[in-house]
Amino acid sequence: MAHVILGLLLIAPQSLYDLIKSFEAGVGLFYSASSGSIKRALDTLLDKGRIEVASTEPGGRGKKVYRVTEAGRQEFHRWMTGELSGADLEAVALPRLFFLGLLDPEERLPVLRRIQQRAATDLAELTALKSRLDAVEVPAEFRDVAAYQLVTLDYGIASGRHALTWLNDLVDRGGPQTR
């Protein structure tokens, strides 16, 4: 979540309230977060010197507006251009795709290729698992359960194929066409 917040703050300095609204308006399509988790992530980013308070509005509540520091910019860049780690491709790929326009143009295609490679690897693993499971003799009392477990795997494979086809097209075009 910290990297998503850094990305949002790189687009524009924001208050906690603004960040919550940003999650609801866009990032929430692929990344959910509660206001409490956003606040905790902001506090951690502040403690690590990756963001700072840009301004505090006068008055009763003293709303703070946060902005990214140089250390935060470097951390965001490291994350964006680094290896994809995590079990769920969508959870590691979609935030990077969402913020890819913040990178220099020459850095974008290598990130897309890493996402593409990860999608291909994940699909190959699911396909290999399907092959292994197809060879297993399932006891009669578990065949109904196994049948639905296998169609769940089939869904994962179909989803993986779609993601890889979409990514292949995106990489072949060199990224999205800007207006």
* Plot region of 174 (φ>0 → left; ψ -120 to 50 → alpha; else → beta): left
Per-residue pLDDT of the chain (179 residues; tens, 9 = 90+): 899 999 999 999 999 999 988 888 888 778 778 888 899 999 999 999 999 988 777 665 768 899 999 999 999 999 999 999 888 888 889 999 999 999 999 999 999 999 999 999 999 999 999 999 999 999 999 999 999 999 999 999 999 999 999 999 999 998 887 76
Residue 145 confidence (pLDDT): 93
pLDDT for the residue numbered 39: 92
CA 36 to mean position of chain CA atoms: 20
Query: Domain limits of the chain?
Result: 2-81, 107-172
Give the single-character DSSP code of 57: -
User: Which secondary structure element, helix H or strand E, spans residue 146, and what is its range?
Assistant: helix 143-172
In the three-class reduction of DSSP (H, G, I as helix; E, B as strand; rest coil), residue 2 is classed as helix
The model carries a pTM of 0.85
d(CA 146, CA 141): 10
Would you identify the CATH topology of the domain 2-81?
Arc Repressor Mutant, subunit A (1.10.10)
177 is written with which tokens?
Answer: 């066409």
Q: How far apart are CA 29 and CA 7, in angstroms?
A: 15
C-alpha distance across the termini of the chain, in Å: 29
Q: What does the pLDDT read at residue 60?
A: 59
Task: Give the C-alpha separation, 32 to 47, whole Å.
Answer: 23
